[in-house]
Amino acid sequence: MIKLKVDNDALAEEFFDGTRLLGIVGSLADYQFCWQLNQGMQINFRANHDLEITLKRKERNYFFTIYEYQEPATTLVHYLYNNQYDGEYLLPEFKHLDFLWLLKGDLVNDELIAAMVQSIKIIPGVQMVIELSTDKIRNKGHLIF
C-alpha cells in the first residue's frame, strides 16, 4: 500500500510566492471596513463564501470571512481576511490585528503598497496599517484556501 503525504510547507511556499501582506488594526466591522475601502479606494471587495475558512477549536467551529477583489485586466487578486471571530483568531500570533490584506497573482511594487497603506490609514476607525513578512507567520496554513 502506498501512502501519500501532503507537504504543507511546500504548499504554503507556493501559495505565498510573490504575495504581499498587510496587517490592519481597526474598530470597524468587516462589512463596514469593506464598504469604506470600496468607496475610498474605488475597488469592489465582495464576500466570497466559497473561500470562508472554518477552524475547529475547543470542539466548536469558527468562521473567518474572506472578501475578494479581482483587479480588471490583471491577474492581481486582493483578499481581505477577517482575523477575529467570536474571540478566536485566524492567526493567533497576530491577535492585535483585525484584518489581513493579501495581494496575490501579480508582482506588487513598493510604491503601490505605500499608496495603499496611506489610503487605508485615512479611513475613520483604522488605527494602524503595517506590511507583514510571510516568514513571520507561524500558522500559514490558516490563510490557504
For domain 20-143, is the CATH number 3.30.310? yes
pLDDT at 58: 81
Confidence of residue 27 (pLDDT cuts 50, 70, 90): very high
Q: Which residues of 110-139 are buried (b: 16+ CB within 10 A; e: fewer)?
A: eeebeebbebbeebeebeebeebebeebee
Q: Which of 22, 99, 102, 107 is nearest to 68 (CA)?
A: 102
Please give the model's pTM, rounded to 2 decimal places: 0.88
Amino acid at 16: F
At residue 10, does pLDDT exceed 80? no
Which sequence spans correspond to the domains of the chain? 20-143
Q: Is 42 left (phi over 0), alpha (psi -120 to 50) or beta?
A: left
Mean pLDDT of 116-132: 96
